[in-house]
Each structure stands twice: as C-alpha cells, then as structure tokens.
Chains A and B, each alone.
Chain A
Amino acid sequence: MTPPPIAVRTATEWLSARARWHPLEIVFWFAAFAAIYLFPARHLILTEIAWLGLFALSLDLILGYAGIISLGHAAFFGFGAYTAALLAKHEIIEEPVLALLISGCAAMALGFVTSFLVLRGSDLTRLMVTLGVALVLRELANRYGWLTGGADGLQGVSIKPVLGVFRFDMFGHTGYTYSLTVLFILFLVARRLVNSPFGLSLLSVKSNPLRSSAIGISVDARLVAIYTVAAGYAGIAGALLAQTTAFASLEVFSFDRSADLLLVLIIGGAGYLYGGLIGAIIFKFMQDYLSALTPQYWPFWIGLALVVIVLVGRDRITSWTTPIRLMAARLNWRALARRSAERL
C-alpha cells in the first residue's frame, strides 16, 4: 500500500491537532460533574444551566460556525419541548431517554424542512424567516389547544424514571445528572463535528460563500446539514426542559427566548463550543441575582447588557477568553511541529 501524499498527511495532522483535548477542557468537565456531589442544593439552577448551555451550543453551531443569524431558534426548542411533554403525557413512550431521542429527531425533521427557507436571501431575510417560523409554530400551538393545552400550557405531565431506575425528584438531583450527561454526550458529538473536515468547510462557507463554492464546497448542502443538526440539538434542549420540569407552555416559543439565547451566546463568545456553555453559566447566575432584586424589570438589564456589549465591541467583551485560547493553540502547534520534525 502506498503511503498517502504529504499534503493529505499534513492536513490530517493539522485536523487532529486541532481536535486534541486541552487540559482546561478536562478541568471544565470535571468541575461540571463534580458539581453533582459538591453543590446538591443548587441542582435546580444547574439543571437550567445545562439545558440552556445545550440550547446555546446549538445556536453556536449555526451562528458561530455557519454564520446564519437566527431570531427564531426557539421554534426547535419549543417543538422538542412539546414533543417530549406530549409523549410523556399520553404515555406513548414512557422512557425519558428514548423520548428525548425522538423529540430530537422530530426537531431535526422540522429543521431539515425549514432549512431550505434560510438558504436564500440576505441576513434580514433570514432573520425574518426564522422569526416567522417560530411565530407560526406559536400560533399553531395556541390554536390547537386540545393537543397543547393552549395558553394554559400542557399540564398533567408525569415523567417516568430515567432508564426505569432513576426517579426525578423535586430537588433536581436526577435532573442535573441526567441533563449534564446528555449535554456532555452531545458536546462530544459537536466537538467531533466541528473539528472534522465538515466543520472546517462550514467556517469557510461562513467567511465567504462564493469562494467556498469555487473550491468545490456545496454551500447549500452544508448549510442544510448544520441547520438540521442544530435544530436537533435545540429540540433535545427543549425536551430536557420539558422532562425536568414536567411542563410545557407557549412561552417555549417566545421571541424573548430566542433573544435571550443570543445574549447567552454573545456573553460567552460565538464560534467556539464553550461560548454557549460559559455564557449559560454567567447568564443564569446573573438572572438569578437580578430578578431577585427586580423581578418585573429584569428585561431592562438584559437590554442594557446587549447594548453595552455591542457598543464596547463583542471582540473586546469576549477577549477575556483569548489568552486561554491562544495558549491552547500554542500548545497544540508546538506538539504538531515536534511530531512533524520527528517524521522528517
């Protein structure tokens, strides 16, 4: 067998260097899992952080990696939430993990169908279309009250134990462990995805669609694929919300939710997978603190945060992560250079 040409080998090495685990990442996940034992009293808010982080991760896939601005990402979130809640309520599929997968697939199907709508047009058109899809779903959920419970929300949902063993409790202990595990697994998948040649091609599409298509990347197919995957992620995040709270209401489709999500992602920084997770942690604790002070006027502080972030500049806001990223990159490059040198 002939060895692969040098160009292929360098590219493969570069990709695998890019995908290497950094010590800080291991610390991050270790801390997340340690929280199961360390902060049992905070499990409710930690659960919220877990599904919000997953939701933000899903937006990061399309915004940070493919450059699609979406104001209606809550559409998939809500779709997943209602699917999971309905499956549990009507006892169609009682086992939460299986129901979670099915909700994710349902949201993916919806994402696949609507992805063709965002292919054309400018940022503004995409914005309007994504927003429109979320509004249409909200209207539908409101109209078909016999199925969704309408404005009162879907009540009387009882979630069976996870895998038939772990029962959901009111303190969120099971909820957090369950959500965190799901988040971790999906994070691994996303990490694999964005570090693959496919992920690289997405970045190229984001920076210049025309040139990407000139070097043989089928732009539309890539966008459809990532939009579908992201929709599935959002659907699973919604399903996690529905399962851990045993409730789904029209609020899951609301515009505020999509807008909050943008803020979450922007705080953490878009375009690297941890942005959404870090943003979710900061956002939830901020919300917890501020809404305890002024529950009704909490949107004001969200708005202020958004305005300030834009005026100061997003790059500068998220620059606190740059030293870490630079360090990570340098370590990786050094290892790569060393190994290339050995080979030569």
Chain B
Amino acid sequence: MLTILFDGIAYGMLLFVLACGLAVTLGLMNFINLAHGSFAMAGGYVTVVLVNRLGVPFLLSLPIAFLASAGIGFIFERTLYVHVYRKSHLDQVLFTIGLVFMSVAAVDYVMGSGQVFVQVPSAWQGKFDAFGVGIGRYRLLIIVICGLLTVALQFILAYTRFGSRLRAAVDDGRVARGLGINVNWIFALTFAFGSGLAGLGGALGAEILGLDPSFPLKFMIYFLIVVTVGGTSSITGPFLASLLLGIGDVAGKYYVPTLGSFVIYTIMIVVLVWRPQGLFSRATSR
C-alpha cells in the first residue's frame, strides 16, 4: 500500500518535471505545444547514447541531457516557434503535431524503433526496506532530484528578478513590455528552460517510463492532463495535479488493471467539463 503510494509519488514527480515546461508555455504564451514530449525524448536519447555507448557516468549525463534539450528548445524557439505564437490555436496544433510526427520518424530512423534502456549504475538499483515499506533506490533518487528541482523552481519564480519579470509577462505581456522588460527574450529563455527540464525528465524517466520513438505521442496526453487539470496560472497547480495523476495511475494499474488508462481519461474529461480552467487555477485566469 505505502509502496504504491511511494511509486506513485515518484511517478508524479517525474511527470511534473516533464510537464512543467509545458505549463509555463501554455500559461505564459497561451501557446498549445503538443511537441513538448519530443524535447523530453531528445533528453532521454542523449542520456542513452552518453551512458550506454560512451560510458559517461549516469549522474553526469543528466545535466548534459538538460543542456542538450534546452539548446534544441532554444534553437527551435528562435527559428520556428517564434513565427507561430501569434497564429490561431488551430495553426499551433497543426504545427506542433507536425513536429511530433517528424521527431518520431527521425528518431526511428536514427536510433531504431525498439525500446531502449539506460544502464543505471548498480548502486542505484534494487530496493531497501524502511519501516516495512519497500523503497526502490532509483525511485528515491528521482524523488530527491525532482523535489529539489521543484523547490528551486518555486524559488526562482517567487524570489528572483527573472521570476518577477516572468510573472509580469504572464499577467500582462503588453504592460511588461512597456516597462522595458524584454518579453521575447524571457519567452525564449523560459522555453529553453522548460525544454531542458523536459529533457532531464526524459533522461530520468527512461528507466521507468520506457523510451522508444513513440514516446512523445504516448505521453502527450499525460502532459496535457497535468497542465489542463492543474491549471496554468501557478506552478503548484500542475505539481498537485501530477502527484494526483502519478498516484492515481500507479494505484489504478495495481488495483484495477483490467480498466487500464480508462479511469485516468474519464477523470480528465469529468474534471475538464466540471472546471474548464483546471482544478487549482485562479478564477481570473485566461
């Protein structure tokens, strides 16, 4: 029972790190980015190549995965996304679906269509018992890393100059621009940072979620659930939503395996119809 809770929390934390970049893109720029999973996949494959082929230590490969995904995100934002911000939602959907399809086929071409695994060092494998609860070492690592990241993220958003500029841009982009804040630059940095986090999540999650070229399609719906159910106006909303989703999904698969993901999707539809702005959002949000 507690083990399920623990696994669920680890899964939820992972989902949060994967999806929080999307929460910012959606909330900040009102931009529907279905291709978010592609950046996560990029991070995952970078780690696989580094660890399995080049023998880089696992923990060192994580920041590299972050930087690689952030770099890709930055380049894409400056060259492609920037042209699509002002277009209609339909255009954004079409554009990002196109990117997803391209990334899926390209990764398939380069890396093969099979599922790949990261060779996690043996020190991180296995379980130990703490007060009768079986705790996976790797999952504990995920919780620690993701927990630290969440705290850091909250700190950056709430207490730094960059954070306050970002929040200003969220609340009213035009006024923020008028105050001399370079909103475009903040968008680009935030987008890159979000993509980097997704890449880090992909690297960490390759072991648990499984990594194959269809990753962006498979998890797209999960990221979107986190963001839409959590609401896009704060960072705590998506965080709570991803914890709920993680625990719910793990528990659901354990207790009622015959129903599969059915429960998750149904709950999502009910929540969205009940509160279209998300469970934890302010009433005034867009």
Whether B121 is near chain A, meaning CB under 8 Å from some CB there, is no
Chain B residues 253-286 with CB under 8 Å of chain A are: 258-262, 265-266, 268-269, 272-273, 276-277, 286
Q: Assess the A310–B221 pair: CB atoms within 8 A.
A: no
Q: Assess the A125–B228 pair: CB atoms within 8 A.
A: yes
Across the interface, name the chain A residue whose C-beta is closest to B267: A132
Q: Assess the B262–A306 pair: CB atoms within 8 A.
A: no
Across the interface, name the chain B residue whose C-beta is closest to A311: B83
Of A100-108, A172-180, A219-227, A296-304, which stretch is located at the interface?
A: A296-304
Cβ contact of B262, chosen from A125, A143, A297, cutoff 8 A: A143
Across the interface, name the chain B residue whose C-beta is closest to A135: B265
Chain A residues 282-318 with CB under 8 Å of chain B are: 296-300, 302-307, 309-311, 314
- Whether A311 contacts B95 in the complex (CB less than 8 A), given A131-B221, A136-B262, comes out as yes
Q: Assess the B260–A307 pair: CB atoms within 8 A.
A: no
Q: Assess the B93–A69 pair: CB atoms within 8 A.
A: yes
Q: How far is the CA of A298 from the CA of B101 in the complex (A)?
A: 9
Chain B residues 107-154 with CB under 8 Å of chain A are: 108-109, 113
Whether B106 is near chain A, meaning CB under 8 Å from some CB there, is yes
Whether B84 is near chain A, meaning CB under 8 Å from some CB there, is yes
Contact mask for chain B residues 23-40; partner A; CB cutoff 8 A; 1 contact, 0 none: 000100000100000000
How many interface residues does chain B have, given as a range? 35 or more
Whether B94 is near chain A, meaning CB under 8 Å from some CB there, is yes
Chain A residues 103-137 with CB under 8 Å of chain B are: 116-117, 120-125, 127-129, 131-133, 135-136
Whether A87 is near chain B, meaning CB under 8 Å from some CB there, is no
Contact mask for chain B residues 68-95; partner A; CB cutoff 8 A; 1 contact, 0 none: 0000000000001001100101111111
Q: Assess the B93–A300 pair: CB atoms within 8 A.
A: no
Whether B97 is near chain A, meaning CB under 8 Å from some CB there, is yes
Chain A residues near B84: list those with CB within 8 A. Answer: 310-311
Q: Assess the B262–A122 pair: CB atoms within 8 A.
A: no
Which 10 pairs between the two chains have the least Cβ-Cβ distance? A306-B98, A303-B101, A121-B276, A300-B105, A303-B102, A307-B98, A310-B95, A123-B89, A303-B98, A299-B101
If A297-B105, A300-B104, A305-B98 are given as contacts, then 15 extra A-B residue pairs at C-beta distance below 8 Å, sorted by A number, are A69-B93, A128-B228, A132-B272, A133-B269, A135-B265, A139-B261, A262-B94, A296-B108, A302-B98, A303-B102, A306-B94, A307-B80, A307-B98, A310-B87, A310-B95
A residues sitting closer than 8 Å to B (CB atoms) are 63, 69, 71, 116-117, 120-125, 127-129, 131-133, 135-136, 139-140, 142-143, 255-256, 259, 262-263, 266, 296-300, 302-307, 309-311, 314
